Amino acid sequence: MSDLLNGAGGLVVGQVPVSAGERRDLELPVARLPSGTRMTMPVTALRGIEDGPGLWLTAAIHGDEIGGTEVIRRVLARLDPRALRGHILAAPIVNVHGFAEGSRYLPDRRDLNRSFPGSARGSLAARLAHLVIENIVAPCSYGIDLHTGSDDRSNLPQIRADLDDPETLELATAFGAAAMIHARLRDGSLREAACRRGSTVLLYEGGEALRFDEATIDVAVEGIMRTLSYLDMIDHIAALDSGGNGTDTPLIARTTSWVRAPVSGLLRSRGELGERVVKGAVLGTVGDALGADERPVRSRSNGMVIGRAENPVVHRGDALFNIAVVEPQAGASLET
Ligand SMILES: [Zn+2]
């Protein structure tokens, strides 16, 4: 399971060699701002003394999705490179421009996660994507990309991955989030580009943009530690067996469905993240400011609430609740 490292048996990240048993905090040069300020992408490399797999961790590809940045800090604080097998390359702030602006996008409004694999001579987004592929993804066989909800939405901690691939399904199961959602590869995403290079990739979603949500961060930290243990990159930690998600049986869904606002007005939400719902269940109401003309918002399928709008001011057609669709087995009850 050992990854092929650059050069003659060494790990080199952005021209910086990383020795066995060493942690290196380094900066990959991105580009100058128009003001002349030099922009760099922070990367931490951990290389074990013993051989093993390579795993990358990325966060804030969408610059306002900062929860994963804190996840990476906490994971790295728990790891000793001398006790690691293989190597970890962690980029806690990939979209350095969007991060500084509190924006999902790059200054040219491009979505970095639609710009992979990128190119050395393309747009700013294409160059950033290329930098990540060449320096972070290429030396590794496994990866976890950390995201949060966007646009005033919060997400239940969940893994999105190609669950049709047996190795990916095993890795997702080892991570142990409460919900696993089968997600086809999205054109131009980091996950797609890395999978096409042969990597096994998980995408973690949870919490809100521009927030540190403790419970969501905790699930991700514990999930990454369990994944490292599964890959035999760290010694088995008995305390992790209890799991960080408070659930024994994860929900596995192949499709998701948005419930939209039936009218414009104010959303009075009842549907909680993680709640199991049946088709027709009332997730909230939308009415006017004084509560007249309340219209129910109903689930269109059986399943679990995995995302919801947090801004009560809604237009007709706005996406309010994301339901992981799970059709009940014959004779089985959805209620647990
Ligand atoms: Zn995102």
The confidence band for 329, taking pLDDT boundaries of 50, 70 and 90, is low
User: Is residue 266 domain-shared with residue 185, that is, in the same domain?
Assistant: no
Q: How far is the CA of 141 from the centre of ligand 1 (A)?
A: 22
Q: How far is the CA of 209 from the centre of ligand 1 (A)?
A: 9
Q: What are phi and psi of 46, to 5 degrees?
A: -120, 125
pLDDT of 241 higher than 60: no
The pairing of beta strand 303-309 with beta strand 276-277: antiparallel
pLDDT of 9 higher than 90: no
User: Is residue 151 domain-shared with residue 179, that is, in the same domain?
Assistant: yes
User: Is residue 211 domain-shared with residue 318, that is, in the same domain?
Assistant: no
Coil, strand or helix: which one is 316? Answer: coil
Q: How far is the CA of 49 from the centre of ligand 1 (A)?
A: 34
Q: Which residues does 227 contact at the CB level (< 8 Å), separation at least 6?
A: 55, 142, 144, 171, 174, 175, 202
pLDDT of the residue at 335: 44
* DSSP codes joined into one string, 237-250: -GGGGG-SSS-SS-
Q: How far is the CA of 201 from the centre of ligand 1 (A)?
A: 15
Assigned token pair, 155: 């997400």
pLDDT of the residue at 249: 82
C-alpha dihedral sign at 178, 69, 49, 27:
positive
The confidence band for 10, taking pLDDT boundaries of 50, 70 and 90, is confident
User: Is residue 218 domain-shared with residue 302, that is, in the same domain?
Assistant: no
Q: How far is the CA of 119 from the centre of ligand 1 (A)?
A: 21
The confidence band for 246, taking pLDDT boundaries of 50, 70 and 90, is very low
Q: Which has more pLDDT, 336 or 199?
A: 199
Q: How far is the CA of 147 from the centre of ligand 1 (A)?
A: 4
The confidence band for 292, taking pLDDT boundaries of 50, 70 and 90, is confident
Q: How far is the CA of 333 from the centre of ligand 1 (A)?
A: 34
User: Is residue 303 domain-shared with residue 317, that is, in the same domain?
Assistant: yes
For 208-302, list the strands marked E by DSSP.
251-253, 255-260, 265-269, 276-277, 282-287, 295-298
User: Is residue 263 domain-shared with residue 232, that is, in the same domain?
Assistant: no
CATH number of the domain bearing residue 104: 3.40.630.10
Does any domain span residue 273? yes
The confidence band for 336, taking pLDDT boundaries of 50, 70 and 90, is very low
CATH number of the domain bearing residue 283: 2.40.50.100
pLDDT of the residue at 334: 44
pLDDT of 250 higher than 80: yes
Write out pLDDT tens, residues 167-215.
999 999 999 998 999 998 889 999 999 999 999 999 999 999 999 999 9
Mean pLDDT of 255-284: 96
The pairing of beta strand 200-207 with beta strand 251-253: unpaired
Q: What is the pTM (predicted TM-score) of this model?
A: 0.93
Q: In whole angstroms, what is the distance from residue 93 CA to residue 91 CA? A: 6
Count of helices and strands (H, E) across the chain: 6, 19
User: Is residue 115 domain-shared with residue 247, that is, in the same domain?
Assistant: yes
320 with 284: CB under 8 angstroms?
A: yes
- Among the listed residues 187, 18, 4, the one whose alpha carbon sits nearest the alpha carbon of residue 89: 18
Assigned token pair, 87: 């190597």
Q: How far is the CA of 291 from the centre of ligand 1 (A)?
A: 34
Q: How far is the CA of 240 from the centre of ligand 1 (A)?
A: 27
Q: How far is the CA of 40 from the centre of ligand 1 (A)?
A: 21
pLDDT of 137 higher than 90: yes
Query: Tokens 């219209």 label which residue?
Result: 295
Q: How far is the CA of 336 from the centre of ligand 1 (A)?
A: 31
pLDDT of 238 higher than 60: no
Q: In whole angstroms, what is the distance from residue 88 CA to residue 80 CA? A: 11
Among 225, 251, 277, the domain boundary falls at: 251
pLDDT of 240 higher than 90: no
Residues with CB under 5 A from ligand 1 (ion): 62, 65, 147
Q: What are phi and psi of 181, to 5 degrees?
A: -115, 125
Q: Which residues pair with 56 in a beta bridge?
A: 89, 143
Q: How far is the CA of 282 from the centre of ligand 1 (A)?
A: 28
Q: In whole angstroms, what is the distance from residue 189 CA to residue 174 CA? A: 23
pLDDT of the residue at 5: 55
User: Is residue 160 domain-shared with residue 296, that is, in the same domain?
Assistant: no
Q: How far is the CA of 81 from the centre of ligand 1 (A)?
A: 29
41 with 93: CB under 8 angstroms?
A: yes
Coil, strand or helix: which one is 312? Answer: coil
Does any domain span residue 331? no
Q: In whole angstroms, what is the distance from residue 225 CA to residue 76 CA? A: 10
The confidence band for 142, taking pLDDT boundaries of 50, 70 and 90, is very high
Does any domain span residue 167? yes
Write out pLDDT tens, residues 43-82.
999 999 999 999 999 999 999 999 999 999 999 999 999 9
Q: In whole angstroms, what is the distance from residue 312 CA to residue 259 CA? A: 14
What is the extent of the structural domain holding 127?
11-251
Among 204, 232, 251, the domain boundary falls at: 251
pLDDT of 239 higher than 60: no
Residue type at 7?
G
User: Is residue 247 domain-shared with residue 262, that is, in the same domain?
Assistant: no
Q: How far is the CA of 150 from the centre of ligand 1 (A)?
A: 7
pLDDT of the residue at 236: 80
Q: Which residues does 101 contact at the CB level (< 8 Å), separation at least 6?
A: 63, 107
Q: What are phi and psi of 67, to 5 degrees?
A: -55, -40
Range name among 5-9, 83-87, 232-236 with the lowest pLDDT average: 5-9
Q: How far is the CA of 203 from the centre of ligand 1 (A)?
A: 9
Q: How far is the CA of 64 from the centre of ligand 1 (A)?
A: 8
Q: How far is the CA of 59 from the centre of ligand 1 (A)?
A: 9
How far is residue 206 from each of residues 167, 218, 237, measured CA to CA in Å? 23, 11, 24
For 33-84, list the strands marked E by DSSP.
38-47, 50-59
Mean pLDDT of 264-286: 96
Q: How far is the CA of 146 from the centre of ligand 1 (A)?
A: 8
Mean pLDDT of 29-43: 94
pLDDT of the residue at 291: 81
Among 199, 225, 251, the domain boundary falls at: 251
74 with 217: CB under 8 angstroms?
A: yes
User: Is residue 75 domain-shared with residue 21, that is, in the same domain?
Assistant: yes
For the chain, what is the mean pLDDT? 92
